[in-house]
Structure 1
Amino acid sequence: MSTDQAGSTSVNPFVTESARRALFALRAFPTGLVAFGAAASGRHRRAARWQLDAAEPGTSDIHSPSWWRIFTHSALSLSIGAVAWFVAFLSLVAAFRGVFYGLITDDSYRYSWGGPTLAGAWLVHLVLGLLLVPVALCILRVIGSLLVGLAQRLLGDGGPAWAVPVSLVLAAAGALLFRSWLHQI
């Protein structure tokens, strides 16, 4: 066994990177909130360094972006982080309702998916609820990748040009989705 193999672990890098991006998407809301406050109180350079290091660990050297770029990044990161938490919340609600469908439903299962029997409706809701969890993890990973691109674009040197407009669209779509969800409950 070579020395390279002796010190290495057998962790799948795709899973690790996916999990790191999904967790970064969930960390974006509290990070954006603190950075938003720091940028508003005059500590914008520290907020930029902190946000860029959170997006790409080990990258703390920035090109000294303007206050406006740091404030914009903080606001967008806060908004997109809220969307990420909403996606995670909806997937957990769907999984919970799927697992406990038979205990929380009334007689409406006769007309729901998998009905007219309770067992069929419970099974369909269980499968769909549990299948939404990996879908939500993929969505969180995409949101995390978008946030990394946004940090690179607004705080770092370069980054994809599409990150800012896509972030604006996602923040607006997330607000509309949340508003629609509130009106249906």
Structure 2
Amino acid sequence: MKIGVLALQGAVAEHIRSLEAAGAEAVAVKRVEELSELNGLVIPGGESTTIGKLMRRYGFMDAIRDFSAEGKPLFGTCAGLIVLAGKIEGQEDAHLELMNMTVARNAFGRQRESFETDLDVKGINEPIRAVFIRAPLIKSVGPEVDVLSTYKGEIVTARQGTLLAASYHPELTDDYRLHAYFLEMVKEAALAKA
């Protein structure tokens, strides 16, 4: 399993470490051509507007949509979740528009409102540790989206087919089970194509 981490901004090294701990070969992706070698791709946190601009500048928008259309899984964390969303509250344009969900940016407030908590996630036996930093929220989802976890009644983890989105930073903990969950999605997708 070769998983890429989009290396335009954000916690790239931390995602690579978590993916490797979960058993994958993980690489930083800086050029569109590198996507063809991958089984899955992580879009890390950072600043969603900046990531979107850089993705457009370097030709990643259509390339990642094509990657997804081939049935290869994507995992967006924090700003990466915003990049996957079909709609962003208060903005006319979204980025990849792949997941049928509406998201709110910085829904938990500023940096100083950052926090950690244990989160129950559907499909993972024990609660995982989640780090929320200026985190977005999933405000609503379409019927094909499976809500995997909520925090205080708000959706913070969701899956739609080969797309996985988390409001928080699983890569900033030593708990790599959400990355392992994503690897299972990648394996399922590879088997479905075989």
Instruction: Report TM bin, short chain.
Output: under 0.3
Name whichever structure is richer in strand by fraction: 2
Q: Which has the higher relative contact order, 1 or 2, with Cα contacts under 8 A spaced 6 or more apart?
A: 1
Q: Specify the structure having the higher radius of gyration (Cα).
A: 1
Name whichever structure is richer in helix by fraction: 1
Calculate the TM-score normalised by the size of structure 1.
0.22
